[in-house]
Amino acid sequence: MNRLLFIITSLICVSLMAFKANAHNFMTPQEAINSYVQGVTNGVGKDVEKAFQETATIQFYDSRGSFNNFNRNQFIELINTGNKWSAKVEITSLLITKNAASATVEFNWGKSKEHGFVDYLNLIFDGQKWQITSKVAQYVSKSKSSKVDAK
């Protein structure tokens, strides 16, 4: 009886460890996007790492109008500060065609939400999980009469 209990307990532990190891196998694009958003807003690089493919590219224009170009690991270093960011984040569009997806994510912050980033994310399902393959983004000041161009 003790041996049977040991075997069952061992199987449960192995199953739980396998589940935990695969817990970041995102089954929807939203799950990958949410991991990215959680990582950025909480300063946790590990969440960003899980969301992006190893070969992902990250390019954006910041609040000074400077162009930034990172690979995934450089971007993780930038994010991995532990600093929380109280931005309002919303997935404003998500298009999915079988194993490919494209999303627009808007970050807004400041007293009157006068600062923002508009992220355009491309995602792919590799047969096991959804991940972000590329990100391009633009800082948008909402204190001026600037609008996001839909062209």
How do residues 49-107 score in pLDDT, each as one tens digit?
999 999 999 999 999 999 999 999 999 999 999 999 999 999 999 999 999 999 999 99
Q: What is the model's pTM?
A: 0.79
- Of all residues in the chain, the percent with pLDDT exceeding 70 is 79
Residue 151 maps to a domain: no
- Residue 142 has what pLDDT? 83
Element (H, E) at 6: helix 2-21
* DSSP secondary structure letters along 31-56: HHHHHHHHHHHHT-HHHHHHHEEEEE
For the chain, the C-alpha Rg in angstroms (whole number) is 19
CA 38/CA 24 separation, integer angstroms: 13
Expressed as residue numbers, the domain containing 134 is 26-141
Is the CB of residue 121 less than 8 Å from the CB of residue 33? Answer: yes
Residues 123-144 have a mean pLDDT of 93
User: Quick one: CA torsion of 28, 29, 30, 34, rounded to 10 degrees?
Assistant: 110
CATH for 71: 3.10.450.50
Residue 19 maps to a domain: no
Count how many domains the chain has.
1
Question: Does the pLDDT of residue 46 top 70, yes or no?
Answer: yes
Residue 99 maps to a domain: yes
The single-letter code of the amino acid at 132 is I
Is the CB of residue 60 less than 8 Å from the CB of residue 137? Answer: yes
CA nearest neighbour of 133 among 75, 58, 61, 83 = 58
Residue 37 maps to a domain: yes
Give helix then strand counts, H and E, for the chain: 4, 6
